[in-house]
Structure 1
Amino acid sequence: MHDHAAGGHAHDHTAGANAKMLGWALALTTAYLVAEVVGAFVFNSLALLSDAAHMLTDVAALVIALMAIRFGQKPADDKRTFGYKRFEILAAAFNALLLFAVAIYVLVEAIQRFRQPEAVQSTGMMIVAAIGLVVNLVSMKLLTSGKDASMNVKGAYLEVWADMIGSIGVIAGAVAIRFTGWTWVDPIVAVGIGLWVLPRTWVLLRDTTNVLLEGVPGGIKLPELRARIAGVPGVASVHDLHVWSMSSDDVTCTVHVTLQEGADADAVRRAVTDTLDRRFGIEHCTIQTEAATEPCEDTPHRHS
Structure 2
Amino acid sequence: MGHGHGHGQVPSAGASGRYVKALTAALLIGAVFMVLEFAVGFATSSLAMISDAAHMFTDVLGVGMALTAILLARRSGPTFSRTFGLYRAEVLAALANAVLLFGVAGYVVYEAVTRITDPPEVPGLPVMIVAAIGLGANVVSFLLLRGGAKESINVRGAYLEVMADMIGSFGVLLSGLITLTTGWRYADPIIGVAIGLFVLPRTWTLARRALRILFQHAPHGVDVGRISEELAALPGVTDVHDLHVWTLTSGMEVASAHLTVEPAAEHSDVLVGAQNLLAGNYGIEHATLQVEPSESARRCSELSW
Equivalence map 1:69-88=2 (5 Å): 69-74=70-75, 75-88=77-90
| Correspondence for 2:23 | 22
Deviation track 1:88-132 (CA, whole Å, cap 9, x = no partner) reads 111111111111111111112222222332322333322321221
> CA offset at residue 274 of structure 1?
0.9
TM norm structure 1: 0.81
CA distance in 1: counterparts of 2:92 and 2:17, whole angstroms? 23
* Corresponding residue to 1:168 among 167, 170, 182: 170
Distance 1:199 1:252 in 2: 29
Cα shift at 1:149 = 12
What is the correspondence of 1:203-282 to structure 2 with a 5 Å cutoff?
Answer: 203-282=205-284
Partner of 1:33: 34
- State which drifts further: 19-28 or 204-213: 19-28
Where 1:73 maps in the other structure, the secondary structure is: helix
- Contact 1:53 1:99 survives alignment (8 Å): no
Matched, 1:181 2:183: yes
Q: CA RMSD in A?
A: 3.2
- Residue type at the aligned position of 1:107: V
SS of alignment partner, residue 240 of structure 2: strand
Q: Which amino acid aligns with 2:79?
A: D
For residue 84 of structure 1, report the CA deviation from its aligned partner: 1.7
- State the distance in 2 between where 1:35 and 1:149 align: 27
2:130 to 123, 128, 131: 128
Instruction: Please give the secondary structure, in 2, of the residue aligned with 1:257.
Output: strand
Residue 271 (structure 1) shift: 0.9
Q: Give the equivalent residue in structure 2 for 1:200.
A: 202
SS in 2 for 1:206: helix
Whole-angstrom CA distance in 1 between matches of 2:149 and 2:118? 50
Match of 1:52 in 2: 53
Give the TM-score normalised by structure 2.
Answer: 0.81
List gaps (5 residues or longer) in structure 2.
1-8
SS of 2:296's partner is coil
| Conserved 8 A contact 2:19-2:148 | no
1:89 maps to which of 84, 88, 91:
91
| Distance verdict in 2 for CA 1:224–1:166, change over 3 Å | same
Deviation at 1:148, TM superposition (A): 8.0
Which is worse superposed, 254-263 or 68-77?
A: 68-77
User: Is the contact between residue 136 and residue 161 of structure 1 (CA under 8 Å) also seen in structure 2?
Assistant: yes
Give structure 1 stretches of 5+ with no counterpart: 1-7, 300-304
1:277 Cα deviation from its structure 2 partner: 0.7
**Distance (whole Å) between structure 2 residues aligned to residue 294 and residue 159 of structure 1:** 51
Relative to 1, partners in 2 of residues 1:139 and 1:293: Cα closer, same or farther, differing over 3 Å?
A: closer
Alpha-carbon distance, 1:294 to partner: 3.3
Q: Distance in 1 between matches of 2:63 and 2:137?
A: 14
Q: Which moved more, 1:82-91 or 1:226-235?
A: 226-235
Residue 233 of structure 1: SS of its match in structure 2?
A: coil
2 CA distance for matches of 1:171 and 1:51?
Answer: 11
The whole-number CA distance in structure 2 between the counterparts of 1:117 and 1:271 is: 69
Cα distance in 2 between the residues matched to 1:242 and 1:266: 21
Aligned-residue identity in percent: 41
**Taking structure 1 as reference, are residues 17 and 207 closer, same or farther at Cα in structure 2, changes over 3 Å only?**
closer
1:3 corresponding residue in structure 2 = none
Q: Please, which moves more after superposition, 147-156 or 214-223?
A: 147-156
When residues 105 and 228 of structure 1 are mapped into structure 2, their CA distance, relative to the original with a 3 A threshold, is: same
